[in-house]
Structure 1
């Protein structure tokens, strides 16, 4: 009997969701098929198509909820809303076709923001012109999200176990089987189940299904009231103590605490909404007074972020941080002082998100313009000589080096260096920056300041390699032997390699352990030359610029005595502070 009821309930829920969100489910099916095709293809990427179809499903779900809200309107208007949703997804696909989606950060950021805006709209629409609060709508979506996620994870684990068993006992299956299974479960089954859990908010509010959906489940109530709220209070005490102790100093410039503050404000905001339904008196006190503390923290976070923006200029990341600060301050003010208007808080988030993707004032455009302005305030086109290098009479202060390296790194990451038309032709950030400007391209990361004094930051890892962008040629005239070898040394590992050479009764011994890294040349069991290479483990930190390619002359080292000349060419070398090192080398030997 129970099985019959369970099957009947599942069938009823399936029929309901397919009847309620048919177009969204169709687009989810298209998204899944596109991703499965992309898994099979090796030379063609269908990322644009997959994102556009997924956005179509999300837009159409929002359109369906909007139609349910306006259910008294004519059917023609309802279809118009759905048509606009589908056309919006198609227009976004046309936009993505115009750019290189894999490398264009502006397009990727816009896509993420559009998905975020549509998701917030999905939660917000039920609160429009109804007696439901944003808190109740949020609880309903949290319930269905985690239910669908749990089912999808368990479902996939089971399917993966079956595939692994079949692969072990019968025929070896390729990884595509697992990828296709994941696509079907996480891109179709889970979203469809998620949609089936969205209550029909615009039916009678006393409907039992709606009442149950908007009420906090017991596990969420316990989690929020007895775990999250106490942890936030403890964290708040620590944060207030830190701010009070450093209010006149490093708090305002501490880059490490900024993500912590942003996370704190975001989690605190969500917790306020999730505590509205609590019956505990002390949770009510938290909900009443915590917004005032959150407002103070949000103001401090915004001021700190603004100071950092003035220091280095805006980037798209800093742009979003400032927008978040604006949202946090306005949202907390509304929640704390005008709580009856709290349903408008998500609308502020949607409005700010929309601003961040509009042409010319979007995050990447503003970040690019800001960093170009920072660079051009320091460098002019006439600062370069005929060889495309900074003139010797032009020198940069530590602050200018810090700013230039930071700005160039950002512009390179978003593929906007070509906007600096005065740069030398074929300028390559990684290979040419130090040659052109005379300092490390990662100066901003490798140097720090204290009391006005700049000093290098001790890095834990270093890497150099021979520059392969230009042909590497070297003379072997007069050389008697050439040896290519590799080493890989980790802590506690000891090994000697002996290589027989063309010279009769002569061997090259490569010694490397935690203490020794050297070349020994033996003739008739007598050592005639020792070339100590341990200096590389220290010199590399001066040579490298974070995986920096170096010219041949920088990576060539010579040792000689009365009997032989040994030339060492470093093809690649890496090391860290924990006794690890490894690399590839070429050795040329000239016997006298």
Structure 2
């Protein structure tokens, strides 16, 4: 055990020496986390993700050097390229506050592409296949996750014991300890499992290096059994269920069923993943799987892609739909490679994935440029068809069809969520707030999934305008979440007398009832009436949420025994159903 521990520590030291620039970036990541833990008010995500991207670029650069280069100058050039690309990423983000959905997704896609490159580069025109390199990374990930989790749990327990038994420790010590484990130890420990793959510089590896590589790329017996006799049979059963579902339900609305697309995407990901893992096995189960399931994958992917394309005609192109269709094309190509090319060619899948990832984040045909342009055009076309866009100004029109109202609402909501409204001169920035939507278009926002004949209403307490609430002279304040599907009882003690505040359902109403110890009713409140008072003027507020003052949000009910004030902090109403959060203030007379 001591010898194995010694060898693993030597491996960690060698990983630091093998990836020096990566180590510098990881130290920078840990440093940013230390500053972030100490200064919780500022956002350091821009620096954090910059250094993480830099670490991944430097790892890929090192693998490119090991596989194709021989000179030290070439290594320094690759390091310089990684630093320049990292700097380019940093300057691409204006500020930490600009770290929006678009930047986040592009960063995630770029990091995933770099991970694929990390696995694929050592297998390019090499004796080692992509499947073997993937197996090495797969094993390293789970071993690292196990070691890191055990280490984190152990360190946290030690800190807790010291804090409880010896002397007080600041709560931030936990965060600092976990930062060291997950920012420094885990990545370097993972890289220490990366074997010395054969490259241009050292095509003939030593016996020790060959043994280390064989251990890294080999499939453990337990994992082989798990893949062959558990994962593959489960995938087969899932395939049968999927095919039966498709055959029994294929008809017109089948293609736009919201359940179909995520189900087919998840199946496709599963089959591709299992195919890569099974490529390293040579038993009967794995060979049958590789022979049959990639061919099954091809029609499944066509189903998924057709369903996604039909969704475009209904809702236009969003970045999510762009990625789903892109993934469908990638999965179709993967199915062809798995079905008709030898196992050694599986590396082409990684190459295709990296190319597609680059296409999806680099303008002008990236997911976000395409989706923004499409959604703006859909909105402009819908407004123009209804005579609502004249000389760059929107003309309100409440008489358009329900379908067009939903289209306008959907596109505006998407553009607002992606922070694109500021790039459209003829739309106000805060169009979904207060009454801006109705004033702009002449009708309330109508969302998909809501029956056009139904009416939805919303109201919230404006805490910014009313941060202080006077609870004098009440005896108790009770927080309640009220909806049309739940009943509950809250015990309340006032002046050593026990009461129960009951929430009960009665037809389409929610009743609040206060009873004493003998279950005698002291007061009864119909919340439907209360919510009607709160929402009575809501129509004038249009598509946004009505913001309430404390005075407007408070409704009083009283008799000769009890005064009950209901302070509504949030309420929504649709199709005779209410959902509300409130404070109940009680005064026993």
Give the structure-2-normalised TM-score.
Answer: 0.81
What SS does structure 1 have at the residue aligned with 2:46?
helix
Q: Residue 192 of structure 2 aligns with which residue?
A: 196
- Whether contact under 8 Å (1:16, 1:196) holds in the other structure is yes
Contact 1:487 1:583 in 2 (8 A): yes
Counterpart contact for 2:504–2:512, Cα < 8 Å: no
Question: What SS is found at the alignment partner of 1:513?
Answer: strand
Equivalent residue number for residue 334 of structure 2: 331
Task: Flag structure 2 segments of 5+ consecutive residues without an equivalent.
Answer: 468-472, 515-520
Mapped to 2, the partners of 1:494 and 1:370 lie a distance apart of 52
User: Which residue pairs with 2:517 in the alignment?
Assistant: none
Determine which of 411, 418, 428 is the counterpart of 1:414: 418
Shift of 1:549: 2.2
Aligned positions, number: 545
Pairs within 5 Å for 1:163-562: 163-202=159-198, 204=204, 207-339=210-342, 341-380=345-384, 383=388, 391=396, 394-424=398-428, 427-429=431-433, 432-434=436-438, 436-437=440-441, 439-441=443-445, 443-447=447-451, 456=454, 464-466=459-461, 488=480, 491-493=487-489, 513-515=503-505, 517=511, 532-536=526-530, 548-550=545-547
2:8 is matched with 10
Distance 1:583-1:242 versus aligned 2 partners, 3 A rule = same
Say which of 66, 72, 76 aligns to 1:75.
72
Partners in 2 of 1:29 and 1:374 — Cα distance?
47
Measured after TM superposition, the shift of residue 175 of structure 1 is 2.9
Query: What RMSD, in angstroms, separates the aligned Cα atoms of the two structures?
Result: 4.1
The answer to whether the Cα contact below 8 Å between 2:152 and 2:181 also exists between their aligned partners in 1 is: yes
Checking the alignment, whether the CA contact within 8 Å between 1:486 and 1:582 is kept in structure 2 is no
Q: What is the match of residue 92 of structure 2?
A: 95
Separation of aligned partners in 1, 2:525 and 2:48: 58
* 2:124 pairs with 1:128: yes
Partner Cα distance (1:578, 1:400) in 2: 26
Equivalent residue number for residue 60 of structure 2 = 62
Q: C-alpha displacement at 1:56, in angstroms?
A: 1.3
Find the aligned partners of 2:111 and 2:523 in 1 and give their Cα distance.
Answer: 66
Which deviates more from structure 2 when the two are superposed, residues 575-584 or residues 336-345?
575-584
| Deviation of 1:341 (Å) | 3.3
Deviations 1:376-412 (A, max 9, x none): 1122597389xx9964x54222211221222122111
- 1:14 deviation in Å? 2.8
Instruction: Work out the CA distance in 1 between the residues paired with 2:398 and 2:302.
Output: 41
Q: Does the aligned pair in 1 maintain the 2:459–2:571 contact within 8 Å?
A: yes
Q: Is the 8 Å Cα contact of residues 569 and 585 (structure 1) preserved in structure 2?
A: yes
Shift of 1:320: 0.7
> How far apart, in 1, do the equivalents of 2:375 and 2:42 lie?
34
State the 1:35 CA deviation: 1.1
SS in 1 for 2:383: coil
Shift of 1:510: 12
Contact 1:401 1:444 in 2 (8 A): no
Q: Once the two structures are superposed, what CA deviation does each residue of 1:236-279 show, in whole Å capped at 9, x if it has no partner?
A: 00100111112223321111231121111011001111112223
8 Å contact 1:467–1:550 — kept in the other structure?
Answer: yes
* Counterpart secondary structure, 2:488: coil
- 1:409·1:441 contact (CA, 8 Å) conserved in 2? no
Contact 1:430 1:441 in 2 (8 A): no
2: distance between equivalents of 1:440 and 1:219? 60
1:29 aligned residue: 27
Q: CA deviation at 1:195?
A: 0.7
Label 1:239 to 1:567 Cα distance change in 2 as closer, same or farther (>3 A).
Answer: same
